[in-house]
């Protein structure tokens, strides 16, 4: 999370958004027991965090590496597309130099989030084309610098559209992304995809089961994502911790052919309970770590289709984490 | 972009998907018997037989009179228009004979290649005018799938961006129209083996072409689960001095497909493109033994590579018909095994099976 986004998170638990507070929270997460590496294969860091250390002066990135976890970096940018209905694209200037530096600093993968939204005229053909093209440029540059690009074309859940409409849009977006990746000569076997699950808009009155979400999601993916892509790590996009886990589990149980790994790349849906348990107090470290480990383990099981919902897990895990027009 | 206007109902989708799955059921592939009158002229002249409608009928009868052994290895037969309305010596329509064996009937619907002005001898394929009406009629007459062949070639400057774009687009239009009429479209973007390019170059071009095809299919709202793909295998150019093993061809082919063909496509039915009968079987077998994960069926849609020995055994003599039919059944069974990676090789040398069937700039 960028500094400003952490601000939103910390404000919810009434903690001041200082560099030290951000460091403390991340330290608690990163210093959990090494067994976390059974559930977590990679951690995406913000630029500031890549260079922070724990209270003994040890770099976070080294702590993670020693646990066998791959270190990733959020590559950022973002600019409006003129002549559209508030649509955006990403910035690429100086990316190669930044990637080279990150690689030297221990990073092995990058992530770039492109945002598309569903509305009366959106996503427009221009927004789809331009974001797909930019993601492909981004991926190409990453690979030239030895970083695996995570390609994230997020169709945000804002709106009252139904599941079918989200599926339709997601298929169009992903088809454009993979055409662009091909045009830009990107090596698919060295990329990962971070898409939205296919869900109804947040304001849609119709409710869908995890199985319906799973079927719509896997159908969309299997019509657009080549088998050469090794893994798909879903974003949680404002779903509650529990919904994000249940949906991932249903996805892994979906009877359609699934030649890629189907896993998670969760921010809010892995950290909400941990944040609530922490409340900014060092004394709560153990409770924070337990809350985080629990969600990590749950999602590890869901990524194998083996999650068993155990019932009450506290209000934080079922609370919707939706924020309108999310940027982070 | 905002709104989707569903192209097909759930029932239509199910019908198309079921047909496609039947054609590429495990161990089954397609007999491409859709040679145009012009192509048949070349085939028949090679065995000294006159190219008359009756001879073409007699020859197809040799193939279609194969016994029930073909049921387990042939999932579909592609017909040429003329053949769809022909009958055997007992007056039984060929369509019925094939259907009675549980084999799906298909029809070639394109009308041949035409030049793309301003390119280096590149082409697109015509046949879209009135295609919907023709498909509706073919469906009534027993056809459940169709085939349309586009042609691309590799040289220093080809295939050009225009040729790739135009052929992908015309394939997508064809596919869309077929599906509206309950017909499963086989999409065939053939990259010819003419030239001296190596395996890598063919793989690169094949990936570019297939990416364009699937983008066009998406743009045209084609239901992938109700389509089949008929691509070239990835091979070196015919005049390439480097020789590659079936395993290398398999790896290059499967890699290219994995990077471009969505898992929703139920089957990939390779064209044989001038490979000898044995080569085509060995390569298909190696493809099915390739260690990379393959989410689609990988099988055959062979013309020459299923018929060469049969044609040669027949030589226009009715006395040879039985022996000729046996030759066909033999190749069909071999390819049925190859489609499952179970073919152990013929152990034979020479004969029609090993003879290269390459014809320069093949159009059929």
- Summarised one tens digit per residue, pLDDT across range B51-99 is 999 999 999 999 999 999 999 999 999 999 999 999 999 999 999 999 9
CATH of the domain at B154: 3.20.20.70
Residues of B in contact with A120 (CB under 8 A): 2
d(CA A65, CA A42): 9
List the catalytic residue out of B230, B277, B278, B327.
B230
Over residues A46-70, mean pLDDT: 96
Cα of A220 to nearest chain B Cα, Å: 9
List the catalytic residue out of A1, A130, A152, A242.
A152
**Separation of CA B283 from chain center:** 15
Paired strand residues for A233: A263
Domain count of chain B? Answer: 1
Do B4 and A179 lie within an 8 Å CB cutoff? no
d(CA A267, CA A236): 7
Residues of B in contact with A182 (CB under 8 A): 207-208, 211, 259-260
H/E segment holding residue A153: strand A148-155
Residue B208 lies in a domain: yes
d(CA B250, CA B291): 10
- For tokens 């990524």, the residue is A303
A152 is catalytic: yes
H/E segment holding residue A256: none
Comparing alpha-carbon positions, the chain A residue that sits nearest to B3 is A165
Over residues A233-253, mean pLDDT: 96
pLDDT band at A76 (very low <50, low <70, confident <90, very high): confident
Buried b / exposed e along B263-292 (16+ C-beta atoms within 10 A):
bbbbbbbbbbbbbbbbbbbbbbbbbbebee
- For tokens 């976390």, the residue is A36
pLDDT at A325 over 60: no
pTM above 0.95, yes or no: no
d(CA A274, CA A29): 8
Domain that residue B234 falls in? 10-339
Residue B347 lies in a domain: no
Question: Model confidence over A79-133: pLDDT tens digits?
Answer: 566 667 667 666 688 889 999 999 999 999 999 999 999 998 789 999 999 999 9
Residues of B in contact with A179 (CB under 8 A): 211-212, 214-215
Crossing angle of helices B37-46/B53-64, nearest 10°? 80
* A224 reaches B (C-beta below 8 A): yes
**What's phi and psi for B349, nearest 5 deg?**
-110, 155
H/E segment holding residue A110: strand A109-116
* A81 reaches B (C-beta below 8 A): no
Do A228 and B207 lie within an 8 Å CB cutoff? no
Instruction: State what percent of residues in chain B have pLDDT above 70.
Output: 94
Do B264 and A172 lie within an 8 Å CB cutoff? no
Do A182 and B207 lie within an 8 Å CB cutoff? yes
Comparing alpha-carbon positions, the chain B residue that sits nearest to A256 is B264
* A262 reaches B (C-beta below 8 A): no
Residues of A in contact with B294 (CB under 8 A): 227
Name the CA radius of gyration of chain B, rounded.
19
User: Strands (DSSP E) along A251-308, which ranges?
Assistant: 261-264
Over residues B36-62, mean pLDDT: 97
| Architecture category of domain A3-303 in CATH | Alpha-Beta Barrel (3.20)
Buried b / exposed e along A285-319 (16+ C-beta atoms within 10 A):
bebbbebbbbbbbbbbbbbebebeeeeebeebbee
Comparing alpha-carbon positions, the chain A residue that sits nearest to B208 is A182
Q: Which of A223, A258, A261 to mutate to test the interface with B (most CBs of B within 10 A)?
A: A223
pLDDT at B358 over 90: no
Residue B2 lies in a domain: no
Mean pLDDT of chain B: 94
Residues of A in contact with B262 (CB under 8 A): 222-226
Between B355 and A169, name the one with better pLDDT.
A169
SS3 content of chain B, % helix, strand, coil (to 5): 45, 15, 40
Residue B327 lies in a domain: yes
Over residues A40-59, mean pLDDT: 96
| Preceding omega of B159 cis (within 30 degrees of 0) | yes
Q: Is the dihedral of CA A250, A251, A255, A259 positive or negative?
A: negative
- Nearest residue, CB atoms, B4 vs list A125, A165, A182: A165
Crossing angle of helices A241-253/A210-222, nearest 10°? 60
Residues of A in contact with B263 (CB under 8 A): 222, 225, 227, 257-259
**How many other β-carbons are positioned within 10 Å of the β-carbon of residue A256?**
16
Residue B101 lies in a domain: yes
Residue B360 lies in a domain: no
**pLDDT of amino acid A86:** 65
Question: Model confidence over B190-208: pLDDT tens digits?
Answer: 999 999 999 999 999 999 9
**pLDDT of amino acid B364:** 35
List the catalytic residue out of B188, B190, B279, B327.
B188
Residues of A in contact with B218 (CB under 8 A): 171-172, 175, 223-224
H/E segment holding residue A100: helix A95-104
Collapsed DSSP state (helix, strand, coil) of residue A82: coil
Residues of A in contact with B255 (CB under 8 A): 228
Residues of B in contact with A176 (CB under 8 A): 215
Comparing alpha-carbon positions, the chain B residue that sits nearest to A191 is B259
Question: Model confidence over A295-316: pLDDT tens digits?
Answer: 999 999 999 999 998 665 555 6
B279 is catalytic: no
- Nearest residue, CB atoms, B211 vs list A128, A179, A223: A179
User: Strands (DSSP E) along chain B, which ranges?
Assistant: 29-33, 74-79, 104-108, 113-115, 123-125, 145-152, 184-191, 228-229, 267-270, 297-302
- Nearest residue, CB atoms, B261 vs list A119, A179, A226: A226
* A185 reaches B (C-beta below 8 A): no
Residue B14 lies in a domain: yes
**pLDDT of amino acid A311:** 60
pLDDT at A170 over 60: yes
Comparing alpha-carbon positions, the chain B residue that sits nearest to A164 is B4
**pLDDT of amino acid A323:** 61
Query: How many A/B residue pairs have CB atoms within 8 Å?
Result: 71
Q: Where does B155-219 have alpha helices with state H? A: 161-180, 199-219
Least confident range of A83-87, A159-163, B141-145, B232-236: A83-87
H/E segment holding residue A326: none
Question: Model confidence over B211-235: pLDDT tens digits?
Answer: 999 999 999 999 999 999 999 999 9
- Nearest residue, CB atoms, A120 vs list B2, B208, B224: B2
Do A224 and B218 lie within an 8 Å CB cutoff? yes
Do B295 and A122 lie within an 8 Å CB cutoff? no
pLDDT at B275 over 60: yes
Per-domain residue ranges of chain A: 3-303
* A122 reaches B (C-beta below 8 A): yes
Residue B227 lies in a domain: yes
d(CA A215, CA A219): 6
Query: What ipTM, to 2 d.p.?
Result: 0.83
């Amino acid at each position: 999370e960028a500094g400003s986004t952490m601000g939103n998170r910390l404000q919810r638990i009434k903690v001041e958004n200082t560099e030290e507070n951000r460091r403390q929270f991340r330290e608690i997460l990163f210093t959990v027991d090494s067994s976390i590496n059974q559930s977590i294969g990679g951690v995406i860091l913000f630029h500031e965090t890549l260079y922070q250390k724990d209270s003994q002066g040890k770099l976070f990135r080294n702590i993670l590496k020693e646990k066998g976890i791959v270190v990733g970096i959020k590559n950022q940018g973002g600019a409006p597309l003129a002549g559209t209905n508030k649509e955006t694209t990403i910035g690429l200037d100086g990316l190669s130099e930044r990637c080279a530096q990150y690689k030297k600093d221990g990073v092995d993968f990058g992530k770039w989030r492109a945002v598309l939204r569903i509305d009366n005229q959106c996503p427009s053909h221009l927004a789809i084309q331009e974001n797909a093209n930019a993601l492909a440029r981004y991926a190409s540059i990453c690979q030239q610098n030895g970083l695996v690009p995570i390609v994230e074309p997020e169709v945000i859940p804002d709106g009252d559209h139904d599941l079918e409409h989200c599926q339709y849009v997601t298929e169009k977006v992903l088809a454009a992304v993979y055409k662009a990746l091909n045009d830009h000569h990107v090596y698919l076997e060295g990329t990962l995809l971070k898409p939205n699950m296919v869900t109804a808009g947040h304001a849609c009155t119709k409710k869908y089961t995890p199985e319906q979400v799973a079927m719509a999601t896997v159908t969309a993916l299997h019509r657009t994502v080549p088998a050469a892509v090794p893994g798909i790590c879903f974003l949680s996009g404002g779903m509650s911790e529990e919904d994000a886990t249940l949906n991932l589990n249903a996805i892994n149980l979906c009877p359609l052919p699934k030649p890629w790994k189907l896993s998670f790349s969760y921010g809010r849906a892995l950290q909400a309970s941990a944040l609530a348990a922490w409340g900014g107090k060092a004394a709560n470290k153990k409770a924070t770590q337990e809350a985080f480990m629990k969600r990590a383990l749950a999602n590890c099981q869901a990524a194998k289709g083996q999650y068993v919902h155990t019932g009450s897990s506290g209000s934080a895990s079922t609370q919707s984490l939706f924020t309108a027009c999310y940027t982070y | 972009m905002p709104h989707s206007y569903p192209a097909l109902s759930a029932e239509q989708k199910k019908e198309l998907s079921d047909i496609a799955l039947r054609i590429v059921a495990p161990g089954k592939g397609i007999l491409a018997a859709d040679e145009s009158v012009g192509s048949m002229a070349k085939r028949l002249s090679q065995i000294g037989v006159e190219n008359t409608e009756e001879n073409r009928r007699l020859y197809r009868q040799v193939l279609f009179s194969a016994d029930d052994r073909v049921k387990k290895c042939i999932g579909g037969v592609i017909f040429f228009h003329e053949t769809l309305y022909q009958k055997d010596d007992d007056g039984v329509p060929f369509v019925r004979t094939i259907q009675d064996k549980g084999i799906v009937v298909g029809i070639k619907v394109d009308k041949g290649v035409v030049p793309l002005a301003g390119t280096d001898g590149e082409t697109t394929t015509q046949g879209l005018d009135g295609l919907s009406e023709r498909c509706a009629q073919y469906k009534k007459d027993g056809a459940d799938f169709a085939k349309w062949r586009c042609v691309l070639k590799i040289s220093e400057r080809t295939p050009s961006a225009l040729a790739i774009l135009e052929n992908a687009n015309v394939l997508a239009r064809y596919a869309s129209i077929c599906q509206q009429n309950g017909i499963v479209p086989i999409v065939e973007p053939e990259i010819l083996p003419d030239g001296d390019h190596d395996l890598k170059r063919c793989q690169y071009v094949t990936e570019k072409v297939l990416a364009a095809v699937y983008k066009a299919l998406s743009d045209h709202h084609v239901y992938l689960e109700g389509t089949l793909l008929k691509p070239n295998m990835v091979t070196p150019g015919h005049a390439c001095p480097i020789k590659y093993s079936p395993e290398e061809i398999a790896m290059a082919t499967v890699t290219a497909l994995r990077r471009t063909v969505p898992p929703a496509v139920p089957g990939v039915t390779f064209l044989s493109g001038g490979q000898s009968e044995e080569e085509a079987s060995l390569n298909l077998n190696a493809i099915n033994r390739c260690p990379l994960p393959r989410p689609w069926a990988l099988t055959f849609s062979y013309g020459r590579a299923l018929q060469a020995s049969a044609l040669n055994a027949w030589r226009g003599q009715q006395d040879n018909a039985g022996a000729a039919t046996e030759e066909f059944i033999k190749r069909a069974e071999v390819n049925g095994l190859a489609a499952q990676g179970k073919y152990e090789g013929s152990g034979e040398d020479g004969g029609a099976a090993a003879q290269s069937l390459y014809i320069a700039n093949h159009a059929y």
